[in-house]
């Protein structure tokens, strides 16, 4: 069996990688490490002994980028301590800022250029930094087996597609990750089987918009694969292997996907369905291509087929021109849906996006913050309400490890993605336990054992 864990070898040159942003970036770091291990590098978890220091970066909001500039200053201190240390910025911020970053570091590589990293590293000289930010229409790193960077060997991520064709007006991703392309299904299946053979119990299929996954077989259209079919193929690997996916787009999530979820016990009953706003006027300006009613209908459909399906979301406060009424529409939608949890953000204008060109970023900082705080406060109440419904329910939990607060207790997620805490009987990460929910907090289900 192929080794999918990092090589730790003091005799090899060492690479240190910090990852920012989304799960796709985490998976990209695993691809990068795979490429660099082939080139003779080994991983180090200490920046102080690294020959190459990489930051895999995120551009989604301005504060994500500001953080990286701070880290670059820290990395540079290593250069003063040791000769020959290479500093590289890869990922979305590399793609967005290109030459501007090249003034500060030795290496700049965008999300589609990781195969050229060995060549770039070899070409670097003190006064000759290297850059590759070409975007591709084909690159999916399909046959590269990522070196797994997770700590517990239970849950792994598989990128099934790259890029995004949606051009939501606020979003920088289409510019940093390029056009959408789907990965060949057999390579996805092979990777999922490899993960399972290595003892993993959960895979999450990743894409900016998994519902638009589509593999076109050039020779035989009967072999075309859509997302629902891919999900089923992965679910069939083993009933012991849980399958998750992220992110779904409200405009694209199909009935076929919802029915496929319902058919297989090992497809987790959780959908991350970013709403962004509850106001149809804002949704139109955001170019989300659905309105409030459409979103609510999709939620209704999901719950009619899978009554206890976990639904989580993303919300943006203070988008361009957002009125008090638009904001209230977001709050009432949140109250109507009762999301299990949400990622909530203040709008951050990104240079080059449609919104930055077309609409002034006109909501004052104080108003954005006030609205965001109202959204966060409401979601806290909704999370509690959603968790309270779980009291008395029986759930199957995949153990992640000991609970942080009490070593005699275990923690892990139920299929609906809720975090459960319950008494340990010596089980380890990767075991399944049956529990019953006895009480809740907004973030956790407290459970007793029933197995």
Nearest to 151 by CA among 334, 401, 341, 427: 401
Q: Which does 411 bind (CB under 5 to 8 A by kind): ligand 5AD, ligand SF4, none?
A: none
Q: Out of 34, 212, 276, 387, point to the residue binding ligand 5AD (CB under 6 A).
A: 276
Give the nearer residue to ligand 5AD in terms of CB position, either 157 or 345: 345
Contact 309, 303 (CB under 8 A): yes
Q: What is the DSSP letter of 388?
A: H
Phi, psi angles (nearest 5°) of residue 450: -125, 10
Query: Which positions from 174 to 193 touch ligand SF4 by CB under 6 A, shown as an x/- string?
Result: --xx----------------
Q: Which does 350 bind (CB under 5 to 8 A by kind): ligand 5AD, ligand SF4, none?
A: ligand 5AD
Q: Out of 345, 378, 399, 403, point to the residue binding ligand 5AD (CB under 6 A).
A: 345
Angstrom CA distances, 86 to 118, 256, 451, stand at 13, 48, 53
Give the nearer residue to ligand 5AD in terms of CB position, either 266 or 276: 276
Interaction between residue 170 and ligand 5AD (CB under 6 A): yes
Q: Out of 213, 245, 347, 422, point to the residue binding ligand 5AD (CB under 6 A).
A: 347
Q: Out of 136, 226, 229, 348, point to the residue binding ligand 5AD (CB under 6 A).
A: 348
Q: Out of 160, 173, 228, 299, point to the residue binding ligand SF4 (CB under 6 A).
A: 173
Interaction between residue 144 and ligand SF4 (CB under 6 A): no
Q: Which does 274 bind (CB under 5 to 8 A by kind): ligand SF4, ligand 5AD, none?
A: ligand 5AD
Q: Out of 6, 21, 174, 178, point to the residue binding ligand SF4 (CB under 6 A).
A: 21
CA 143-178-106 angle, to 5 degrees, is 80
Q: Which helix (H) or strand (E) holds 118?
A: helix 117-123
Contact 392, 383 (CB under 8 A): no
Nearest to 415 by CA among 394, 401, 441, 446: 394
Buried b (16+ CB within 10 A) or exposed e, 316-329: bbbbbebeeebbeb
Interaction between residue 22 and ligand SF4 (CB under 6 A): yes
Give the binding range for ligand SF4 (CB under 6 A) out of 55-63, 223-231, 362-370, 427-435.
55-63
Q: How far apart are CA 77 and CA 48, in angstroms?
A: 10
How many CB atoms neighbour CB 360 within 10 A? 10
How many CB atoms neighbour CB 70 within 10 A? 8
Q: Is 126 helix (H, G, I), strand (E, B) or coil?
A: coil
Q: Write out the residues near ligand SF4 by the rule CB under 6 A.
A: 21-22, 24-25, 58-60, 91-92, 172-173, 176-177
Q: Write out the residues near ligand 5AD by the rule CB under 6 A.
A: 60-61, 170-171, 274, 276, 314, 316, 345, 347-348, 350
């Amino acid at each position: 069996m192929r080794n999918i864990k990092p090589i730790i070898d003091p005799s090899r040159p060492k690479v240190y990688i910090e990852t920012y942003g989304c799960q796709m970036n985490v998976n990209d770091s695993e691809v990068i490490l795979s490429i660099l291990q082939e080139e003779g590098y080994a991983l180090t978890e200490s920046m102080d002994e690294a020959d190459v220091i990489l930051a895999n970066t995120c551009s989604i909001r301005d504060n994500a980028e500001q953080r990286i500039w701070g880290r670059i200053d820290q990395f540079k201190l290593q250069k003063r301590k040791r000769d020959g240390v290479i500093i590289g910025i890869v990922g979305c911020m590399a793609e967005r800022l290109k030459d501007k970053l090249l003034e500060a570091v030795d290496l700049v590589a965008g999300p589609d250029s990781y195969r050229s990293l060995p060549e770039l590293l070899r070409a670097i000289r003190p006064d000759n930094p290297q850059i590759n930010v070409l975007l591709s229409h084909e690159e999916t790193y399909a046959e590269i087996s990522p070196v797994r960077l997770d700590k517990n060997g239970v849950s792994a991520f598989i990128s099934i597609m790259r890029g995004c064709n949606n051009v939501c007006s606020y979003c920088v991703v289409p510019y940093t990750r390029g056009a959408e392309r789907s990965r060949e299904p057999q390579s996805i299946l092979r990777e999922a089987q490899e993960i399972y053979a290595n003892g993993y119990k959960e895979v999450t299929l990743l894409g900016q918009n998994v519902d638009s996954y589509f593999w076109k077989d050039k020779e035989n259209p009967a072999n075309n694969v859509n997302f629902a079919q891919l999900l089923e193929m992965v679910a069939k690997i083993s009933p012991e292997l849980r399958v998750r996916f992220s992110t779904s787009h409200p405009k694209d999530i199909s009935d076929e996907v919802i029915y496929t979820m319902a058919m297989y016990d090992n497809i987790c009953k959780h959908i991350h369905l970013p709403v962004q706003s509850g106001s149809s006027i804002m949704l139109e300006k955001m170019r989300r291509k659905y309105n409030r009613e459409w979103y609510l209908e999709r939620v209704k459909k999901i719950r009619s087929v899978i009554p206890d399906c976990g639904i989580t979301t993303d919300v943006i406060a203070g988008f361009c021109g957002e009125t008090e009424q638009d904001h209230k529409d977001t709050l009432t939608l949140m109250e109507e849906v009762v999301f299990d949890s949400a990622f909530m953000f203040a709008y951050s204008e990104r240079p080059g996006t449609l919104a930055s060109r077309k609409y002034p970023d006109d909501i004052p900082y104080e108003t954005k913050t006030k609205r965001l705080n109202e959204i966060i406060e409401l979601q806290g109440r909704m999370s509690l309400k959603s968790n309270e419904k779980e009291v008395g329910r029986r759930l199957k939990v995949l153990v992640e490890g000991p609970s942080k607060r009490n070593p005699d207790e275990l923690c892990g997620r139920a299929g609906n993605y809720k975090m459960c805490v319950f008494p340990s009987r010596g089980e380890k990460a990767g075991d399944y336990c049956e529990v019953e929910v006895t009480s809740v907090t907004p973030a956790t289900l407290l459970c007793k054992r029933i197995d």
